[in-house]
Amino acid sequence: MAAHPRFGPAGIPPLFKVLGARLPDVPRLLREENLDAFEYQAVRWGQKPQMKQEDAESLGAQARKNDVLLSLHGSYYVNLCGKKEVVEASKRRLVACAAAANWMGAYVVVFHMGFYGRLERSYAFKTCVNALKDTVATMKSLGIQNVKLGPETMGKVFQVGSLDEILTICEEAEQTQLVIDWSHLHARRQGLFRKVGDFRAIVEEVERRLGTEAARKMHCHFSKIEYTERGERRHHVLDEARYGPDFEMLVEVIAEFNMRPVIICETPLLDVDAVKMRDICRKIMEKQGASVS
Ligand SMILES: [Zn+2]
C-alpha cells in the first residue's frame, strides 16, 4: 500500500486515447506524468467481466512495473436494497467486477450501494449490509481475497451512502475499504466544507470509528462540485473557483494527520487535474515538514 499520497485519474485520460494508447500503455503514460494511481472504469458492466483475463493481467503487470496502484470502479447498475431479483443481479455484477479486479491486481472495487426507493431508510440500509456480506462470502468462496469492496459516500440525498452509513458498513462487513468522495459529502450536505476544521472533523470521525490506519489509508475521490437541494449536480475542474470543496484545505488535514490516501481525480480534466492536486499536495506538505516520498 502507498507509503505516500497517491494521485491518478478516474478512467483513461482523453489525450491518451488521441495518442492511440492501448490499455496496457496507460500505467507507463501516467508514470511519465509522475502519477501513481489509476481507477479502471467498469461502470457499465453487467454480470460477467467485460474484459479478457489476459488484458486485465497485462494491465496489472504494467501497473506493477510502473508503480501505479490500481483500483476498479464497479458497475453503476448496482442496487443492494431493491427488489430481490435486483439485489441478486447486483451481487453478481459486484462479483464480476471483483474477479476482474483480482486478475489485474486492483486492491479495491469502488461501488455505489443503491437507492432507498420507497423503503424506510434503516430497513433499506440493513438490506444493503446483508447483501454486501453475501457478496464478500461469494468472493471468498472463489478465492478472491486480495480485493476489497469499497462502498462510496454518495452525493445525492436519495442514495444510500451518508458518512455514517459507509462507516457502519465498514464496521460490520469484512473485506471492505473506506471510500470517501469529498465532493459527494460536500454536495449531499449543502456545502459542508467551508474551513479546514470541517475536513478535520471527517478524518477524526473516521479515526474514532475505524481506527488510525483506516483514516490514514482512505481511498478518496475528489472534484469540484455543483449541487442543488437534492445534492450533487455536476463535476467541475479544479480551477473553477465558484465551486467547492477547497483542495488546499483537504491537504492541510492530510499533512496534519500524516495520511497516505489514494486520491482519484474525477474532474472533467482527469490526469491534468490529478497532476495539479499532486503538486498542491507536495507544496503544502513540504511547507509543513511532512514527508512526501
Ligand atoms: Zn463512484
For residue 97, the CA-to-ligand 1 centroid distance in Å is 14
Give the percent of the chain with pLDDT over 90.
Answer: 84
In the block, cell 500500500 appears at 1
For residue 252, the CA-to-ligand 1 centroid distance in Å is 24
**85 HSE (CA, 13 A, CB side):** 0
- Estimate to the nearest angstrom the gap between the alpha carbon of 234 and the chain centroid: 17
Q: What is the pLDDT of residues 271-286, one digit of tens each?
A: 999 999 999 999 998 8
For residue 288, the CA-to-ligand 1 centroid distance in Å is 31
List CB contacts of 15: < 8 A, sequence separation 6 or more: 271
Sheet strand arrangement including 108-111: 37-41, 69-73, 108-111, 148-151
Which residues does residue 15 pair with via DSSP β-bridges, in sequence order? none
For residue 121, the CA-to-ligand 1 centroid distance in Å is 21
What's the pLDDT band for 293 if we cut at 50, 70, 90?
low
Residue type, 167: L
List CB contacts of 106: < 8 A, sequence separation 6 or more: 40, 60, 70, 71, 72, 100, 147
CA distance 207 to 105: 27
For residue 220, the CA-to-ligand 1 centroid distance in Å is 10
For residue 25, the CA-to-ligand 1 centroid distance in Å is 24
For residue 73, the CA-to-ligand 1 centroid distance in Å is 7
pLDDT higher than 70, residue 173: yes
Tell me the Ramachandran region of residue 278: left when phi exceeds 0, alpha when psi lies from -120 to 50, beta otherwise.
alpha
For residue 150, the CA-to-ligand 1 centroid distance in Å is 10
Answer for the pair 175, 136: CB distance below 8 angstroms, yes or no.
Answer: yes
Q: What is the pLDDT of residues 178-199, one digit of tens each?
A: 999 999 999 998 889 899 999 9
For residue 117, the CA-to-ligand 1 centroid distance in Å is 19
**H helices within the chain, ranges in order?**
14-18, 26-32, 53-65, 84-104, 121-141, 163-172, 182-188, 196-210, 212-216, 247-256, 271-287
| Average pLDDT of the residues in 2-28 | 93
For residue 189, the CA-to-ligand 1 centroid distance in Å is 17
For residue 154, the CA-to-ligand 1 centroid distance in Å is 8
Instruction: Report residue 55 as a C-alpha cell.
Output: 488484458
For residue 200, the CA-to-ligand 1 centroid distance in Å is 22
Instruction: Report residue 281 as a C-alpha cell.
Output: 499536495
What's the pLDDT band for 47 if we cut at 50, 70, 90?
very high
Q: What is the pLDDT of residues 198-208, one digit of tens each?
A: 999 999 999 99
Give the percent of the chain with pLDDT over 70.
Answer: 98
Q: What is the pLDDT of residues 129-167, one digit of tens each?
A: 999 999 999 999 999 999 999 999 999 999 999 999 999
For residue 284, the CA-to-ligand 1 centroid distance in Å is 27
Q: What is the pLDDT of residues 211-251, one digit of tens each?
A: 999 999 999 999 999 898 888 899 999 988 888 899 999 99
For residue 111, the CA-to-ligand 1 centroid distance in Å is 6
For residue 23, the CA-to-ligand 1 centroid distance in Å is 21
